[in-house]
Amino acid sequence: MSEGAGSLLGGGGGVQEGEPQADLQVQQGQEVTQQTPGQLQPEPVAVTTQQQVSLLSKIVNDDLTWKENWRSSLADSLGPEDPRALTIKGSESLSKYKTLPDALNALDHAQRAMGADKVVKPTANSPAEVWDEFYRAGGRPQSINDYDVKFSEDLNISPEREKQVRELLFQTGLNNKQAQTYIDFYEQDQLANLKAQKEATDAQIVESREILGKNWGEQLNARLGQVTSLIDNLGIRDVVEDMGLGRRHEFIEAMYKVASQFSESNDLLGTSGPIAPVDAQSKIDEVMKDPSHPFHSGNPEALKYMESLFKSLAMSKR
């Protein structure tokens, strides 16, 4: 019928039985899209358990360690057009994981880190506020008094020194664990130095006593007593001990000469004339505080010079 021409019902424009029918999708405000059977997208092929096992056997040993060239094997299994293949093949970061569990554990940590709070990494030019926030995120306490650290009793550190150390730890941004590690290292180093110094001091005392014993024989203890009394009477014990002179046989022998002359004669001024006590004390202090002075190496002329100074000072205290 002519009325049906051009309609979807009947006529030459109808769809004949047996012909492929196109799917027509019409929605308001959209164009008509037509999809023929030849244009259907292929559905993804599911990977079977057997294929997964086969792939694992190519890259993992029975003990879950990686096989040699496992990255190349995995990349080849993905295919040359898969962008992941090139990444896996050239990744150096993957080589640091020795086993499959190691890699899975690292992946878990990475996923957790992605959801963690982010902290700005300071630069050399960052303001103090940025550094403080960075230190707080790292676990630095709120103040120097909040550090839960222990100091060795062997060092007998003073409260003032402990405060200085705590301030340094805080300024450096260390947390409790880092601070204690630093303190332990510092104390071990200091204790080792003190031990070495004590061993050297003890060795020097033994050596000097042996030399004095050879020179003085049975009179050793008596003469050491005379030197000790002279040093105390002159009021120079602190200087002698601070300079380490009490363990040097050269100094002790020089002081014994002064002590013996003081006990034997009233004329202790020598041929060079008297030296005022104040000047004598000043000159003695200068020599004692100058490690490079030849007196400390046992120079005869320097020893004689110091003798005269001690004589003058001894006379003033009689």
86 and 92 in contact (C-beta within 8 Å)?
A: no
289-298: per-residue pLDDT in tens? 888 888 877 7
Average pLDDT over residues 279-303: 80
Average pLDDT over residues 47-73: 73
Residue of 259, 270, 254 whose CA lies nearest to 303: 254
Q: Name beta bridge partners: 195.
A: none
Mean pLDDT across the chain: 75
Pairwise pLDDT comparison (242 vs 190), residue with the higher score: 190
138 and 179 in contact (C-beta within 8 Å)?
A: no
Return the domain boundaries, the chain.
Answer: 51-111, 128-174, 200-316
* Joined tokens for residue 204: 């020097």
105-158: per-residue pLDDT in tens? 877 776 666 655 677 889 988 889 899 999 999 999 999 999 999 999 888 889
**pLDDT attached to residue 146:** 95
**pLDDT attached to residue 117:** 63
Q: How confident is the model at residue 9 (pLDDT cuts 50, 70, 90)?
A: very low
**pLDDT attached to residue 235:** 78
Query: To which H or E segment does residue 171 belong?
Result: helix 159-172
